[in-house]
Amino acid sequence: MGKKYPILIKINSEDFLDGGVTVEDMLSLSSMLEHAGIDAIEMCGGILVPIGKFIPSRQGRIKTENEGDYRDAAMRFNENIKVPLMLVGGIRSYDISEKLIEEGIANYISLCRPLVCEPDLINRWKSGDTYSASCLSDNLCLKSLQMCIRDRIREMLTREFDLRIEAVNMRRFEDNFKNVKNVVVPKIYPDYCSANVLTMEFIQGIQIANSSQHQIIPDVYKRQLL
């Protein structure tokens, strides 16, 4: 992408899971990324599914003295790696954010749930009201995201299983490939179709996977088809 475009990555300090990523693994990976020219690394920890000790969005009200979930790993990072570090996880107050920067533990502070809860938080802090973020770390924002994803997947599956939609897609496919010799889309019989039944013309053909033997589909189209 060239020098004008920053490339950042978010990685785990550790997975907090037996057999998972350790701080040593994180340091090796960071060193590789440093040599590859990464512009900044954002450090988090834990894994999304609750089988390890922590998920990245640790639940429960955070006391000021406990802010900054991955400080220790951040210090190890700074001893070994020269790439700018963005620290995320359990940071809630302006004072602690400033301290993390001043003490050289992080170069940048990254906030997730506090900004979901209070999108204007940074402007509030800038205006002089440096009272801590009002985020309760109750993960209700995460729950609503999970519900949206679940609803979206349900909608997609419902559409996927409706064969009338499949019939429309076939017509689109036929239209997209109308100029490609040897791509033939079977005729559909709408009067004999329903959400559960797709009735179409039977065509004797060659499977796409076997098409190279026959050299009937140019490679450029084969990629689109597969």
Ligand X SMILES: Cc1cc2nc3c(=O)[nH]c(=O)nc-3n(C[C@H](O)[C@H](O)[C@H](O)COP(=O)(O)O)c2cc1C
Q: Which of 113, 125, 163, 211 touches ligand X (CB under 6 A)?
A: 113
Strand partners of residue 108: 86
Give bridge partners of residue 41 from the DSSP assignment: 9, 85
Size of the site for ligand X (CB under 6 A): 14
CB of 28 to ligand X, least distance (A): 20
φ, ψ of residue 37 to 5 degrees: the values are 95, 25
In the complex with ligand X, the residue whose CB is nearer, 109 or 193, is 109
Q: Residue 57, interface with ligand X (CB under 6 A)?
A: yes
Q: How far is the CB of 117 from ligand X (least distance, A)?
A: 9
Name the segment binding ligand X (CB under 6 A); options: 18-26, 84-92, 100-108, 179-187. Answer: 84-92
Per CB under 6 A, contacts with ligand X among 187-226 are: none
Q: How is residue 104 written in tokens?
A: 């050289």
Q: How far is 148 from 167, CA to CA, in rounded Å? A: 28
Q: Is 85 in the site for ligand X (CB under 6 A)?
A: no
- CA 74 to chain CA centroid, Å, is 23
Per-residue binding string, ligand X, 6-35, x by CB under 6 A, is: ----x-------------------------
Residue 40 or 141 having the CB closest to ligand X: 141
Closest approach of ligand X to the CB of residue 190, in Å: 41
Q: Please check whether residue 87 is in contact with residue 97, taking contact to mean a CB–CB distance below 8 angstroms.
A: no
DSSP 108: E
Report long-range pairs for 61-67 (Cβ below 8 Å, ≥24 apart).
61/136, 61/137, 62/90, 62/92, 62/137, 64/92, 64/93, 64/95, 64/96, 64/132, 66/90, 67/91, 67/92, 67/93, 67/96
The Cα–Cα gap between 125 and 93 comes to 9
Among 68, 87, 90, 93, interactor with ligand X by CB under 6 A: 90
Residue 89 CB, shortest distance to ligand X, in Å, is 4
Closer to ligand X by CB, 58 or 164: give it: 58
Residues 151-180 that bind ligand X (CB under 6 A): none
Q: Are the beta carbons of 77 and 30 closer than 8 angstroms? A: yes
Contact between 68 and ligand X per CB under 6 A = no
The correct pick among 111, 121, 163, 217 for binding ligand X (CB under 6 A) is: 111
Smallest gap from residue 48 Cβ to ligand X (A): 8
181 neighbors 166 (Cβ within 8 angstroms):
no
Q: Which residues bind ligand X (CB under 6 A)?
A: 10, 44, 56-57, 88-90, 111-114, 141-142, 145
